[in-house]
Amino acid sequence: MTPMSSISFFERFEADILSGRKTITMRDESESGLVPGQELPVVTFEQGRWFCDIRILAVTPLAFSELDEEHARAENMSLPELKLLIGEIYPGLEQLYLIRFELLKG
């Protein structure tokens, strides 16, 4: 697996990440190779525009069926919103990877 040189998020999450309200992301196996301590530039999914850097704190397997209110809070959305979003991005995927991160300050 090629090490990731950046990580992308939808533009709508930029403010939540920059404010510290969004501290996790759910990804599929293709992005599960991140390691704690790894620092990555964050770019927008839509245009590849850099907007911050993060440090990976943990990468943990997580089943879609195990998503709960705590995950939704860390994503800064409701549980139904989170399940709908994950279902749109990864239709039918049960095995996710929870990536916990922190914002690196300038």
Residues classed as catalytic: 22, 25, 75
Backbone angles phi, psi at 5, to 5 degrees: -100, -10
> Of 59, 57, 81, 58, which is closest to residue 69 (Cα–Cα)?
81
- Residue 26, Cα to own-chain centre: how many angstroms? 5
Backbone angles phi, psi at 71, to 5 degrees: -60, -45
Q: Kindly write down the DSSP assignment for every residue of 56-74, as one continuous string.
A: EEEEEEEEGGG--HHHHHH
